[in-house]
């Protein structure tokens, strides 16, 4: 699939039974609360996967919206096709098990960082994880991901550039 910047791949509240492999570009998964506040949960960059895994695994309504924040090329893998592949090819099954374990570990680390690190430490981790993303992502998306305001993000960047 080809997406243009701003295209919505999945909308919060929809039901989606697919995962998406990112061949090129950048996407973000975010949640809107009842007041319309935007919480970026994660970014997806080249060679990563993105989905609303709640909807994917349980066929319930998606908790997140997935949006292209750059022109992107992605591959869609339905749950039905993935299950069929995993049942017939053990190496693919092993690949997905490893992928899920790593993703789960990454989410645990993100939660722990959010709970225990300063905003500055979270920002440093962010730029190490996504080294080339800043020039392509809006500041408020990065701030939302870090759980800070855009003003705090600017202050942290200024402080780091002075060091």
Q: Would residue 161 count as lying in a domain?
A: no
For residue 67, being part of any structural domain is answered with yes
Q: What's the pLDDT tens digit per position in 135-148?
A: 778 899 999 999 99
Confidence of residue 74 (pLDDT cuts 50, 70, 90): very high
Considering the entire predicted model, what is its pTM? 0.85
Tell me, yes or no, whether 121 lies in a domain.
no
If one counts the domains in the chain, the total is 1
Query: Average pLDDT of the chain?
Result: 91
- With H, G, I as helix, E, B as strand and everything else as coil, classify residue 29: strand
pLDDT for the residue numbered 138: 87
Q: What is the pLDDT of residues 124-133, one digit of tens each?
A: 999 888 887 8
Binned at pLDDT 50, 70 and 90, residue 72 comes out as very high
Torsions phi, psi for 13 (to 5 deg): 100, -20
Residue 102 lies in a domain: yes
CATH number at 32 reads: 2.60.120.10
* Residue 35 placed within a domain: yes
Q: Is 49 helix (H, G, I), strand (E, B) or coil?
A: strand
**Count of C-beta atoms within a 10 Å radius of residue 52:** 26
In a domain, 69, yes or no: yes
The reported pLDDT for the residue numbered 106 is: 85
| DSSP helix, strand, coil percent of the chain (3-state; round to 5) | 50, 25, 30
Is 21 contained in some domain? yes
- Domain of residue 35 covers 2-116
Q: What average pLDDT does range 116-129 have in this prediction?
A: 92
Residue 130 lies in a domain: no
H/E stretch holding 48: none
User: Does pLDDT of 163 surpass 80?
Assistant: no
Which pLDDT does position 155 carry in this prediction? 95
Does the structure show a pLDDT above 90 at 28? yes
What percent of the chain clears pLDDT 70, i.e. is strictly above it? 100
pLDDT for residue 100: 87
């Amino acid at each position: 699939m080809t997406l243009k910047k701003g295209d919505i791949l999945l909308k919060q509240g929809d039901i989606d039974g697919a995962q998406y492999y990112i061949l090129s570009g950048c996407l973000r998964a975010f949640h809107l609360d009842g007041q319309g506040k935007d919480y970026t949960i994660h970014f997806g960059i080249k060679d990563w996967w993105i989905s609303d895994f709640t909807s994917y695994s349980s066929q319930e309504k998606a908790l997140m919206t997935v949006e292209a924040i750059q022109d992107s090329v992605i591959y869609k893998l339905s749950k039905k096709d993935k299950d069929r592949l995993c049942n017939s090819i053990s190496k693919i099954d092993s690949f997905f098990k490893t992928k899920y374990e790593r993703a789960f570990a990454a989410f645990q680390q993100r939660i722990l960082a959010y709970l225990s690190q300063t905003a500055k430490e979270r920002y440093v981790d962010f730029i190490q994880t996504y080294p080339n993303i800043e020039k392509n992502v809006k500041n408020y998306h990065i701030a939302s991901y870090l759980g800070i305001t855009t003003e705090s993000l600017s202050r942290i960047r200024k402080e780091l550039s002075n060091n």
